[in-house]
A = this chain, B = another copy of it.
Amino acid sequence: MSLKIADKTFNSRLFTGTGKFSSASLMEESLLVSGSELVTVALKRVDLKGQDDDILSHLLHPQFNLLPNTSGVRTAREAVFAAQLAREALETNWLKLEIHPDPKYLLPDPIESLKAAEELAKLGFIVLPYIHADPVLCKRLEDAGVAAVMPLGSPIGSNKGLKTIDFLEIIIEQSKVPVVIDAGIGAPSDAAKAMEIGADAVLVNTAIAVSQNPVAMAMAFKMAVEAGRMAFEAKLAQPSRQAVASSPLTEFLNN
């Protein structure tokens, strides 16, 4: 039941982000409660000069593996540069590749993402690209050597859930690398649904961070992800048009 990406094994299928929390200590507590073992952090938020390295100091738990992301870059070239900085600063070759030239919707660039993925894979990075829910692009990234694909459920921060579900199902059917659904997951029910359709993991940030009670919400997501995975493994019944009564019609009145 555990998940393997590259050389690491994860017991938790809930990956998390570190943005938007009202304080670093609230972030720390929430992420600990979430059970998350892979935590993404924007390179910008890491103090590259080593002073006041606030956010990192809150992530120094054996539970957490860091997944630096390239949020803010706009081209493959910038992404590769950022990845190298991140590797040096954080001493990990894991990388969440994010290239979004559009400042309004922060949607990823398929062309630059593939180009960067190819180069980063050659440079020895474990690349997890954040991309559109495009099944053909996912296969091309797989061929380029990424460790997992991270298609979006809906625009980042929109909390709209799995709007791309018809395409996510195709990606899951076809992918040989793990599929992590990223962006748009706004509620535990969305996370459960993602797992029910067979996703390998989800990445959640906004929905936990901006909740009125991030620690409780982190726990809710943890349970929902586990519930969804359990249901996937136990196999759900398919929707059907005609109702079939749970309680067979009785005839006792005629007896």
Q: A40, A109, A187, A209 — which one has the most chain B CB atoms within 10 A of its CB?
A: A187
Within 8 A of B (CB), among A145-177: 154-161, 163-164, 166-167, 170, 174
User: A45 to B43, alpha carbons, bound, how many Å?
Assistant: 53
User: A243 to B108, alpha carbons, bound, how many Å?
Assistant: 12
Looking at the complex, which one of B44, B234, B247, B249 makes contact with A248 (CB distance below 8 Å)?
B44
With A110-B134, A157-B244, A247-B19 given, is the CB distance from A206 to B237 under 8 Å?
Answer: yes
User: A134 to B216, alpha carbons, bound, how many Å?
Assistant: 33
Task: Find out whether the CB atom of A228 lies under 8 angstroms from the CB atom of B188.
Answer: yes
* Copy count, this protein chain: 4
Contacts of A186 in B (CB 8 A): 236-237, 239
Question: Does chain B have a CB within 8 A of A120?
Answer: no
With A109-B140, A192-B187 given, is the CB distance from A157 to B221 under 8 Å?
Answer: no
Looking at the complex, which one of B109, B136, B137, B217 makes contact with A100 (CB distance below 8 Å)?
B136
With A69-B247, A211-B235, A246-B205 given, is the CB distance from A240 to B189 under 8 Å?
Answer: no
Looking at the complex, which one of B137, B224, B237, B244 makes contact with A111 (CB distance below 8 Å)?
B137
Task: Find out whether the CB atom of B247 lies under 8 angstroms from the CB atom of A17.
Answer: yes
Contacts of A72 in B (CB 8 A): 247-253
Contacts of A251 in B (CB 8 A): 44, 72
